Copies of this chain bind each other. A is one copy, B any other.
């Protein structure tokens, strides 16, 4: 049994292009029905504004699968601690024996989430889109932007955050790039300037409205991963040209789709092509330059299994970690 800590993992897994096919494969298997992925388990600790999620997925034919614990405790920054935390456990598919505990402290979750954003942008945005609007200024805001830059040539970054200081700090951290940087005064202004938009907040009220969105824009909504979270006006799901969930079963209960269903804007019978369907057949993706596309990312256990296996194999090959 191999114990890997965050330092071991960081040495061999970073946000780069090589991860894209790894996570694409994961989505692909999911859409092909090759994945046994149970509903997410959630432990809410309201008293401390905390929650721990457990995700898991077994992919037919793979010799290992991951069970992942990811925690978000939102008072942690006051204590000088990051709000995210967690670990992944890799088990042998044939015997259930624990092969590895990856003490990544949420690093692999952050990484596979950002790569999903890159994949959504790769298949759904216009190829020549070069302006990105980022809603939010936290860790995922930064990672989503870096991930998008793996697949599109970006020359303008617009950011909006509730806390303007954080928006300015965000811009500051990209100053070394030869790119236009701009803090928007509102989400509406951000939308007017962006060909790609990523929403990365834990907002409980919609931040974007359909009328603000330019023709041809692609939007990745990745902040909403719990029932009460909601970043897009639910009517956007109906009015856009293409809505793509990472996993419709999940976005129906946790993502942006959830709110559109609840308000009877979308029928529960409607079946959407998932991100994996489009990876499998890119013709199912963006049809026209003018289309407005939305990708709803709630985060899937199959991404965790993919990145845990990848990290484990690389670290093992390089003799990292502690054998117990």
Residues of A within 8 A of B (CB): 1, 3, 5, 36, 38-39, 41-45, 47-48, 50, 52, 54, 56-58, 60, 65, 67, 69, 71-73, 75-76, 79, 81, 85-87, 89, 91, 93-98, 101, 103, 322, 324
- With A95-B73, A96-B73 known as contacts, the answer to whether A67 contacts B38 (CB < 8 A) is no
| Number of copies of chain A assembled together | 2
Contact (A69, B41) CB under 8 Å given A48-B95, A50-B96, A79-B95: no
Contacts of A67 in B (CB 8 A): 43, 52, 54, 69
Query: Which residues of chain B are within 8 angstroms of A52 by Cβ–Cβ distance?
Result: 56, 67, 91, 96
Known contacts A50-B94, A85-B96, A95-B81: A43-B71 contact under CB 8 Å = no
The answer to whether B95 and A50 have CB atoms under 8 Å apart is yes
Of B45, B56, B69, the contact of A58 (CB 8 Å cutoff): B45
A36: contacting residue among B36, B43, B54, B72, CB under 8 A: B43
A56 touches B43 (CB 8 A): yes
Closest to A56 in B: B43
- Docked CA distance A89–B70 (Å): 12
Question: Which residues of the other chain, B, contact A42 by a CB distance below 8 angstroms?
Answer: 38
23 contacts between A and B (CB under 8 A): A1-B103, A3-B101, A36-B43, A38-B43, A43-B56, A43-B65, A43-B67, A48-B93, A52-B56, A52-B67, A52-B91, A52-B96, A69-B89, A71-B91, A71-B96, A72-B96, A79-B95, A85-B97, A87-B89, A87-B101, A101-B101, A101-B103, A322-B322
Residues of chain B contacted by A38 (CB below 8 angstroms) = 41-43
User: Is the beta-carbon distance between A73 and B94 smaller than 8 angstroms?
Assistant: yes
Q: Which of B5, B73, B75, B93 has a CB less than 8 Å from the CB of A45? A: B93
Q: Kindly list chain B residues whose C-beta atoms are within 8 Å of the C-beta of A48.
A: 93-95
A72 to B95, CA, bound (A): 8
**How far in angstroms is the closest Cβ of chain B from A1?**
7
